[in-house]
């Protein structure tokens, strides 16, 4: 576990969670009745050094990848520096998941035995990759599940909203082949070979299938919110409820790995470049988004 002086260990009933405010408000552990539900948390120091994702990280200020080093949003033309230490790149050389979580120190505002609230001022060097001054507040709490609520507060300029989360889940002592993936009826976004939406979409019928060795790295537009995507097996289940402000999802299930990511997103992949379905906040406006993880 990363040594974070601001670390918060939360508990409520059968749930326990560890939050690292100094490292992106990362949810570094989520246990139900003592059983770990998250994945890729065994080597957080390595993940932090590489800029890769683990646990439940926030993807900020954009989720997933951009189609190149240039984007135009909210009246600004932005050219990203390929050598910036604030960027991480995928295998195709595309900037992915905004600023790595370990480089986003949040300031703790309030803590209780079962919750923590922290803030992040988007200023200084961070403006080099996303030149829109604003403030973000995040509340993480335990109750009937783990809830994460984010409020983005615009200052004197418009702010595009394109963030998301990348929760990694797994079912301990249940073979991946026996996991079931529960997905609602949605619109599936057609992606090119690099994972960038082409602008086309198709109807996706609701599914409740054994995962087996099926590979997923698919983008979706939800038909409605709230909506649930879930994973189950051997009488146990993990559900992600898209409560508010997350009308898009990415489902990631790599072959040969015992994990599934059910990812809430405020905008589709590459929205900062394409402009498609990209929310733009007006000066002084607030944007709220929330999702909940329940375990049974």
Give pLDDT, residue 225: 85
**pLDDT < 50 regions, the chain:** none
Question: For residue range 221-268, what is the model confidence (pLDDT) as tens digits?
Answer: 999 889 999 999 999 999 999 999 999 999 999 988 999 999 999 999
Q: Give the burial string for 167-197 (b: 16+ CB within 10 Å, else e).
A: bbbbbeebebeebbbbbbebebbebeeebbb
One of 2.30.30.40, 3.40.50.1970, 2.70.98.10, 1.10.10.60 is the CATH number of 8-295, namely 2.70.98.10
Phi-psi category of residue 124: left, alpha or beta, with phi > 0 → left and psi -120 to 50 → alpha: left
pTM: 0.96
């Amino acid at each position: 576990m990363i040594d974070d002086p601001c670390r918060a260990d939360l508990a409520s009933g059968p749930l326990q969670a560890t939050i690292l405010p100094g490292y992106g408000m990362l949810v570094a552990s989520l246990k139900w009745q003592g059983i770990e539900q998250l994945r890729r948390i065994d080597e957080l120091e390595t993940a932090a050094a590489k800029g890769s994702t683990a646990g439940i990280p926030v993807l900020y200020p954009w989720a997933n990848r951009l189609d190149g080093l240039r984007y135009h949003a909210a009246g600004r033309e932005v050219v990203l520096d390929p050598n910036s230490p604030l960027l991480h790149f995928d295998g195709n050389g595309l900037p992915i998941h905004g600023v790595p979580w370990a480089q986003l120190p949040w300031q703790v505002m309030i803590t209780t035995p079962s919750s923590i609230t922290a803030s992040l001022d988007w200023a200084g060097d961070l403006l080099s990759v996303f030149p829109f001054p604003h403030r973000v507040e995040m509340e993480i709490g335990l109750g009937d599940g783990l809830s994460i609520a984010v409020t983005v507060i615009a200052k004197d300029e418009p702010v595009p909203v394109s963030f998301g989360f990348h929760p990694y889940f797994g079912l301990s002592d249940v073979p991946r082949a026996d996991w079931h993936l529960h997905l609602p009826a949605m619109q599936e976004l057609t992606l090119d070979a690099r994972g960038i939406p082409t602008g086309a979409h198709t109807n996706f019928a609701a599914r409740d299938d054994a995962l087996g060795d099926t590979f997923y790295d698919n983008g979706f537009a939800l038909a409605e919110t709230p909506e649930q995507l879930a994973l189950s097996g051997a009488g146990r289940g993990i559900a992600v409820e898209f409560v508010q402000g997350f009308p898009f999802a990415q489902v990631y299930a790599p072959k040969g790995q015992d994990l599934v990511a059910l990812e809430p997103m405020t905008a589709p992949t590459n929205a900062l470049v394409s402009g498609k379905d990209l929310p733009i906040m007006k000066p002084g406006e607030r944007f709220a988004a929330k999702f909940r993880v329940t375990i049974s």
